[in-house]
């Protein structure tokens, strides 16, 4: 079960039954997604099914989750935790939205609720978000939520045949307490 806040935003763990709808959304948004997401250009239906199966295993072993974002019932994006480092109490968050679901503050609210989930439900210490330097819309999300820009990693992701750097944003639990909600 996810927190009530996540549930009220329509954020629910992905299940096998979501594969056709999620794949149709990826297909309709492929050009939009493949600019930034290394998996987007080549993903077929079997790839979406594999992603969901792995997400279900991740959830079952208490290693975070991948959720559909469906504020009005239909899926408009995905957000989740890559994994949880329980020893060091940290995690990282990733996300995407369909092109026509952008510009409404949806993902900022979802990421805010995921961060609260990490600190309040799991008692984690640190959350990271990695964005390509040129991905202004993505960078605006951690910046809006009070994350600190901490580092730039060189050529971490191969997207569309070129290596992109990652800007690392970090937020500590004690800093979250002072962030306006
Ligand atoms: C990254 C991505 C999710 C950002 O989407 P987004 O719609 O810009 O983000 P949000 O849903 O938080 O919405 C913020 C926008 O809504 C506006 N907005 C409206 N109401 C708002 C509210 N209550 N709170 C915050 N923003 C609000 C903001 O002004 C902003 O619009 P602007 O950029 O025109 O100023 C989306 O661009 C995307 O999926 N891109 C492709 C995949 C990708 O890059 N993923 C991230 C990889 S690291």
Is 115 within the bounds of a domain? yes
Residue 170, classed as helix, strand or coil, is: strand
In a domain, 121, yes or no: yes
Check the CA dihedral 9-15-21-22 and report its sign: positive
CA 33 to centroid of ligand 1, rounded, Å = 14
In a domain, residue 169? The reply is yes
| Sequence-ordered list of residues with C-beta below 8 angstroms from that of 137, at least 6 positions apart, any chain | 102
- Where residue 1 falls among pLDDT bands split at 50, 70, 90? low
Instruction: Determine, yes or no, domain membership for 59.
Output: yes
Domain that holds residue 153: 4-176
Q: Is residue 34 part of a domain?
A: yes
Structure-token pair, residue 164: 């992109």
Which helix (H) or strand (E) segment holds residue 147: the answer is none
Q: Is 139 helix (H, G, I), strand (E, B) or coil?
A: helix
- 178 pLDDT above the threshold of 60: no
Residue 58 is assigned to a structural domain of this protein: yes
The Å distance, Cα 144 to ligand 1 centre, comes to 10
Using pLDDT thresholds of 50, 70 and 90, give the confidence band for residue 2.
confident
Give the total residue count for the chain: 181
Whether the pLDDT of residue 23 is over 90: the answer is yes
Q: What is the mean pLDDT of residues 67-76?
A: 97
Report the CATH number at residue 172. Answer: 3.40.630.30
Is 181 a domain residue? no
Q: How many structural domains are present in the chain?
A: 1
Of 104, 128, 165, 180, which is best to mutate to test ligand 1, by the most ligand atoms within 8 angstroms of its C-beta? 104
Around ligand 1, the residues with Cβ closer than 6 Å are 32-33, 36-37, 95-97, 102-108, 131, 135, 137-138, 140-141
pLDDT at 3: 78
Which protein residue has the closest C-alpha to ligand 1 atom 43? 96
Is residue 118, in this structure, part of any structural domain at all?
yes
Tokens read off for 129: 């978000």
Radius of gyration of the chain (CA): 16
Sole residue written with tokens 């056709």: 20
What whole-number distance in Å separates Cα of residue 16 and Cα of residue 147? 33
């Amino acid at each position: 079960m996810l927190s009530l806040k996540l549930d009220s935003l329509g954020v629910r763990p992905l299940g096998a039954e979501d594969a056709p709808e999620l794949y149709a959304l990826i297909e309709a948004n492929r050009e939009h997604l493949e600019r930034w997401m290394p998996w987007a250009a080549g993903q077929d239906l079997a790839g979406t099914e594999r992603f969901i199966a792995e997400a279900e295993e991740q959830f079952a072993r208490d290693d975070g989750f991948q959720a559909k974002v469906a504020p009005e019932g239909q899926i408009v994006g995905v957000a989740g935790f890559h994994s949880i480092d329980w020893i060091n109490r940290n995690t990282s968050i990733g996300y995407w939205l369909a092109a026509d679901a952008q510009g409404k503050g949806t993902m900022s609210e979802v990421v805010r609720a995921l961060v609260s989930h990490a600190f309040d439900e799991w008692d984690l210490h640190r959350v990271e978000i990695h964005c390509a330097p040129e991905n202004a819309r993505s960078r605006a999300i951690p910046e809006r939520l009070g994350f600190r820009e901490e580092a730039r990693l060189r050529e971490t992701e191969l997207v569309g045949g070129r290596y992109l750097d990652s800007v690392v944003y970090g937020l500590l639990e004690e800093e979250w307490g002072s962030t306006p909600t």
